[in-house]
Structure 1
Amino acid sequence: MINDLHKVEKINLDNIPDSVNKLATKGDEDLIDFELPNRDIYKKQFNQCQEYLHSGDSYELCLTTQSKIHLPSYIQPWDIYKVLTLHKNPSPFSCFMDFDDCCLISSSPERFLSWKDDITSGNNNKIVQLRPIKGTVKNTDEITYEIATKILKTPKEMGENLMIVDLIRHDLYQFTDEVEVSQLMTVEEYKTVFQLVSVIQGKLYKEGYHGIDLLHRSLPPGSMTGAPKKRSVELLQDIESMQKNFVGGRRGIYSGVVGYWSITDDSIENNPKTKLWRIGAGVPSRF
């Protein structure tokens, strides 16, 4: 299992089989067959989200769907991961997890939760941190950091981000009275996108509690569900059940080691017969 891009930085594209190297080269997309979601069903789901938002049941819903990706059988999951993280979409919270009958290939820019010892306190306190992302602009030759910032610092993008920040602060206050928003709506640049990122942290000091307790109380991630979280999850479970062979609400945490967990957006579930790419998009109320 690889959870740190820096651990595989010595791997280069020359070590990847020719068949997979083609996937990293424009013009060879004929190797890939995408089975996209049903457009009419998705439009119906989107409209249902809008109805719930207008009625006040939720302020934002992260509607999720999935695509199936068909590749030649000789292309291995580990090779796909190397192409993804070294060429297509380098990200700080990438991971490759092999469960024998299924693999998770993730190239995520979003940390969900981390905790570490508070070395300044002299006791067993833990510092916990969450880094939600809400707001994305494609990184192209035409889009500079300044242009991306102007796009992302609009009421719609900032409103979405602020809702999730408030939701996470509420989750943290279950464990500590010391909660700080150390970074609010900062634009970060990655190879393929610009993201609007906030950082919320606190000290976990209540006796008998561990980071696992915080993880349990914080799931599922607010940036992948909506606000308020509980009601949004209930609504999405119903809305997404329209999709054939898709289990509504499957948007949890799959990637992690002791101490930090990441969000599994930009991820592929690799099964023996097919590869599932689940995609979410926030549907907000008007700002």
Structure 2
Amino acid sequence: MVNVSQNFSECLNNWGKRKIPFVFLIDFLAQKPVAWRLDEINPSEILFDFNGFSNAESDAAADIPPGFYFHKEPVSFEVYRNKFAHVVKNLRAGNSFLVNLSVPTPIETNLGLKDIFRFSNAPYRFWLKDQFVCFSPEIFIKINGKRISSFPMKGTIDASFPNAEKVILADPKEAAEHATIVDLIRNDISIVADQVWVERYRYIEPVKTNQKTLLQVSSEIAGILPDHFDGEFGELLLKLLPAGSISGAPKPSTLQIIKDAEGYDRGYYTGVMGYFDGENFESAVMIRYIENQDGKLVFKSGGGITAKSDAQSEYQELIDKVYLPFAHAPAPVL
């Protein structure tokens, strides 16, 4: 395992050039990146499933305990509103165009982190023993040959809301927020790619949870890496981080606003996780994240804030994002 930023980048570059498969994690501020060669990963310590690339046995037929419970204790609206007000003040001052504001939510469940990994219905999952579980729906970047693509998610609505898809696509605040992120990601990809374009713009993806189905809005931005690119994945990743969809724009001033408003350490939440199988590289943004903090579980969630955002709506969105992605679970005990 490598876990120093410079060594991390050098190792990923080296492994990429030599076509050596690996798995990696990068925290939000890229201060504690870690990587493992695939042949050195111990499944009793680490489990992952990245869109089918996995060291975990399939648990598709496993039964979720019928008496399972999942309780969340979100921060009060008053506390959230103070954080929100600090963000909006900076937005109106022109210090940022978009800020991703997150908060930690204590939760209680009779499932362990490993159980949540096993039962989760999500394309990108990672379990690190005694530390965290992540079940993310959001791709960060994919690289196939010289083609690089990114899929930012920005915009969430309860699918049961009347005409939910039309409502979120017509919402001017959501449209402006999404356009800002697409612009940011397009600029980021242009740092490492020669050609960049928007392949798909604002398409809808359903996300099923243990409580409800959510609709999320995504786009696809693609580019062509230069001819001289030869598996330097470490160097490429550090140029693109932190991910624009979970920070904001412009990044330097926005990161300071996030630090001042949130007042807690995100850690690996909103970082990036992924793999290289010797040919294909794929990664995901570490959202939908539960962390063990001294024996207590904390679910970290948030959303993008613009000058047009409504505090109550944003508060409800971050609460809605505190869920377990169990598509066919029995109703939890309340």
TM-score, length of structure 1 as denominator length: 0.78
Residue in 2 aligned with 1:92? 123
Pairwise CA distance, 1:263: 1.3
Residues 177 and 4 of structure 1, relative CA distance in 2, 3 Å threshold: closer
Pairwise CA distance, 1:272: 5.5
Superposition misfits of 4+ residues, deviation over 3 angstroms: 4-10, 32-35, 248-252
SS of residue paired to 1:282? strand
Pairwise CA distance, 1:41: 2.8
Equivalent residues, number: 251
Residue in 2 aligned with 1:26? none
Pairwise CA distance, 1:10: 5.0
Cα distance in 2 for partners of 1:165, 1:45 equals 25
Aligned counterpart for 1:285 among listed residues 283, 307, 313: 307
Residue in 2 aligned with 1:121? none
Once the two structures are superposed, the pairs formed by residues 243-282 of structure 1 within 5 Å of their partners are 246-247=264-265, 251-258=269-276, 259-271=281-293, 273-282=295-304
Kept after mapping to 2: 8 A contact 1:97/1:105: yes
Q: Match of 2:197, as an amino acid?
A: E
Residue in 2 aligned with 1:154? 171
Q: Is residue 57 from structure 1 mapped to residue 95 from structure 2 by the alignment?
A: yes
Residue in 1 aligned with 2:12? none
Pairwise CA distance, 1:254: 4.6
Cα distance in 1 for partners of 2:60, 2:140 equals 27
SS of residue paired to 1:174? helix
Q: Deviations over 1:137-191 (max 9, x none)?
A: 1123x656xx413432322111111111111111111222200110111122333
Aligned counterpart for 1:203 among listed residues 216, 219, 224: 224
SS of residue paired to 1:166? helix
Residue in 2 aligned with 1:176? 193
Kept after mapping to 1: 8 A contact 2:50/2:275: no
Cα distance in 1 for partners of 2:136, 2:266 equals 21
Pairwise CA distance, 1:207: 2.5
Task: Calculate percent identity across the aligned residue pairs.
Answer: 27
Kept after mapping to 2: 8 A contact 1:139/1:190: no
Kept after mapping to 2: 8 A contact 1:129/1:200: yes
Q: Match of 1:222, as an amino acid?
A: G
SS of residue paired to 2:48? coil
Aligned counterpart for 2:258 among listed residues 224, 236, 242: 236
Q: Is residue 43 from structure 1 mapped to residue 61 from structure 2 by the alignment?
A: no
Kept after mapping to 1: 8 A contact 2:148/2:222: yes
Residue in 2 aligned with 1:80? 116
Residue in 1 aligned with 2:135? 107
Cα distance in 2 for partners of 1:71, 1:190 equals 21
Residue in 1 aligned with 2:242? 220
Q: Deviations over 1:84-122 (max 9, x none)?
A: x2xxxx3322x1322x342x32222110111121xxxxx
Pairwise CA distance, 1:50: 1.0
Kept after mapping to 1: 8 A contact 2:149/2:223: yes
Cα distance in 1 for partners of 2:112, 2:192 equals 43
Residues 69 and 10 of structure 1, relative CA distance in 2, 3 Å threshold: closer
Cα distance in 2 for partners of 1:79, 1:152 equals 35
What are structure 1's unaligned runs of at least 5 residues? Answer: 24-28, 118-125
Kept after mapping to 2: 8 A contact 1:81/1:106: yes
Q: Match of 2:79, as an amino acid?
A: I
Residue in 1 aligned with 2:152? 132
Residues 11 and 270 of structure 1, relative CA distance in 2, 3 Å threshold: farther
Residue in 2 aligned with 1:123? none
Kept after mapping to 2: 8 A contact 1:179/1:203: yes
